Amino acid sequence: MIRFKLQELIAERQFRNGVRVTLTELSKTTGINRVTLSKIVNQRGYSTVTDNIDKLCQFFGCQVGELMEYIDETDLSEK
């Protein structure tokens, strides 16, 4: 399963810049629908298009691996 680390990136940017970042502002800046951003943050295993991943990496100035990570679902079921 792919897990997005969008909340972590938002929190890091807020801390670094001292300015609150909302999903609405992120939506306006990136052109990604706010509902899509909400699903990325809240829905486990949500799938999105690579164009959105590209826009988020550009906004945060990060690499794909900083935006999302692979989690082996068998590890989750064993816990």
Q: What angle do CA 14, 45, 78 make, to 5 degrees?
A: 105
The tens-digit pLDDT sequence of the chain (79 residues) is: 999 999 999 999 999 999 999 999 999 999 999 999 999 999 998 999 999 999 999 999 999 999 999 999 876 666 5
pLDDT score for 75: 67
pLDDT number for residue 58:
98
> What is the reported pLDDT for 12?
96
Dihedral angle over CA of 15, 20, 25, 26, nearest 10: 20
Q: What is the pLDDT of residue 73?
A: 82
Please tell me the predicted confidence (pLDDT) of residue 74: 78
Third-level CATH fold of 2-66: 434 Repressor (Amino-terminal Domain) (1.10.260)
